[in-house]
C-alpha cells in the first residue's frame, strides 16, 4: 500500500484502463522510496577529472525476466527487448547487469524487496565481469523504473563505474511513471556526464507491440543522430 492507502496494483489497473486522470494519480502515488535529497547517493569521482574515454559504444541494461506486471511471464524482459533494438541499430558492445542473487520469482515479493532496497539505499551486489567503461564515449543506460528509480542492481553498476565525461543515453520501461526520478538520480551520480534525450516506453506496450516499439526506437535514435 502507498501512503494514500491505494494499492499499487489497483493503481496499475487504473492506468491500464488508459485514464489520463489515473496517470496523474499514479504519478502522485508512485513516489520514490527514499525521498528528496537522495540520501546515500554520492557523485562518482566527486570533483575529480573525468576518465580519459575511448570512442566505443556500450548498451548496458538491467531487466527482470519472469513474473511481471500485468500478469506477464517474460522470457525476455521489456527493457532487454528495447536494449536489443538499440543495439541492432547502433552496434557496439552490449552488457546485461545481473544481480548476484536473483530477485524472487513472485512479483509482490520483488516489489516489497525493491521498495526496501531503494528506501534504505541497499546496493544490491551484481555479478562480476562488468566492462571497463573507460573505453566507451557513448553509453546507453537502460532499466525498468522501480519505485521511481533505477533498480538498486543498476545503481550498484552506476556507483562502481565512472561515466563522467561520457555521453549517456538513458532508456527506461515503466508502467506510468515515465522516467520517474531516474534522470535526477543519473545526474546526481554523474554531474560531469552529457545526458542526451532519453526514451521511455510503457513495458506492456513493448511486450504487446515489439514492432511498433522498434520503429519508435529507430526514429528516436535517428533524431539523436545515431
Ligand X SMILES: Cc1cc2nc3c(=O)[nH]c(=O)nc-3n(C[C@H](O)[C@H](O)[C@H](O)COP(=O)(O)O)c2cc1C
Place of cell 545515431: 226
> Which listed residue (203, 217, 220, 221) binds ligand X by CB under 6 A?
203
Tell me the residue number closest to ligand X, measured at CB.
203
> Which listed residue (144, 169, 179, 185) binds ligand X by CB under 6 A?
144
Of 190 and 207, nearer to ligand X (C-beta) is: 207
> Which listed residue (11, 29, 30, 193) binds ligand X by CB under 6 A?
30
Distance of CA 59 to the CA centre of its chain: 12
Phi then psi for 56, rounded to 5 degrees? -75, 165
> Which listed residue (85, 136, 146, 171) binds ligand X by CB under 6 A?
146
Q: Between vectors from CA 91 to CA 87 and to CA 93, what angle results, nearest 5°? A: 85
Q: Of the ranges 169-177, 182-190, 192-200, 211-219, which one interacts with ligand X (CB under 6 A)?
A: 169-177
* Shortest Å distance, C-beta 135 to ligand X: 25
Q: Residues near 70 by Cβ (< 8 Å), separated by ≥ 6?
A: 12, 13, 16, 204
Of 61 and 190, nearer to ligand X (C-beta) is: 61
> Which listed residue (59, 126, 168, 180) binds ligand X by CB under 6 A?
180
Which 53-72 positions form the footprint of ligand X (CB under 6 A)? Answer: 63-64, 68-69
Q: Of the ranges 108-116, 158-166, 185-193, 209-217, which one interacts with ligand X (CB under 6 A)?
A: 108-116
> How many residues of this chain bind ligand X (CB under 6 A)?
25
Of 110 and 192, nearer to ligand X (C-beta) is: 110
Which 73-102 positions form the footprint of ligand X (CB under 6 A)? Answer: 74, 77-80
Of 53 and 64, nearer to ligand X (C-beta) is: 64
Distance of CA 222 to the CA centre of its chain: 21
CB 174 within 8 A of CB 148: no
Look up residue 23 and give its three cell numbers.
496517470
Q: Of the ranges 35-43, 128-136, 146-154, 160-168, which one interacts with ligand X (CB under 6 A)?
A: 146-154
CB 154 within 8 A of CB 124: no
Nearest CA-CA partner of 172 in 220, 136, 101, 126: 220
**Segments of the chain assigned E as strands:** 56-61, 66-68, 72-74, 93-96, 136-144, 167-174, 194-195, 199-202
CB 182 within 8 A of CB 30: no
Residues that bind ligand X (CB under 6 A): 30, 63-64, 68-69, 74, 77-80, 110-111, 114, 144-148, 173-177, 180, 203
Amino acid at each position: 500500500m502507498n501512503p494514500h492507502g491505494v494499492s499499487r496494483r489497483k493503481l496499475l489497473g487504473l492506468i491500464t484502463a488508459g485514464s489520463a486522470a489515473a496517470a496523474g494519480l499514479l504519478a502522485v502515488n508512485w513516489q520514490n522510496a527514499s525521498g528528496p535529497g537522495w540520501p546515500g547517493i554520492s557523485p562518482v569521482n566527486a570533483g575529480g577529472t573525468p576518465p580519459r574515454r575511448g570512442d566505443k559504444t556500450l548498451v548496458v541494461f538491467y531487466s527482470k525476466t519472469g513474473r511481471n506486471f500485468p500478469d506477464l511471464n517474460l522470457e525476455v524482459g521489456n527493457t532487454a527487448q528495447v536494449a536489443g533494438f538499440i543495439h541492432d541499430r547502433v552496434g557496439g558492445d552490449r552488457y546485461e547487469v545481473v544481480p548476484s542473487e536473483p530477485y524472487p520469482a513472485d512479483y509482490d515479493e520483488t516489489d516489497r524487496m525493491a521498495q526496501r532496497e531503494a528506501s534504505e539505499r541497499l546496493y544490491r551486489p551484481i555479478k562480476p565481469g562488468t566492462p571497463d567503461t573507460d573505453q566507451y564515449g557513448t553509453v546507453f543506460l537502460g532499466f525498468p523504473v522501480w519505485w521511481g528509480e533505477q533498480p538498486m542492481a543498476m545503481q550498484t553498476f552506476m556507483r562502481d563505474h565512472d561515466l563522467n565525461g561520457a555521453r549517456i543515453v538513458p532508456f527506461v520501461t515503466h508502467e506510468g511513471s515515465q522516467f520517474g526520478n531516474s534522470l535526477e538520480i543519473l545526474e546526481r551520480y554523474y554531474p560531469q556526464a552529457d545526458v542526451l534525450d532519453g526514451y521511455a516506453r510503457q513495458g506492456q506496450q513493448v511486450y504487446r507491440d515489439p514492432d511498433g516499439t522498434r520503429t519508435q526506437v529507430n526514429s528516436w535514435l535517428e533524431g539523436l543522430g545515431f
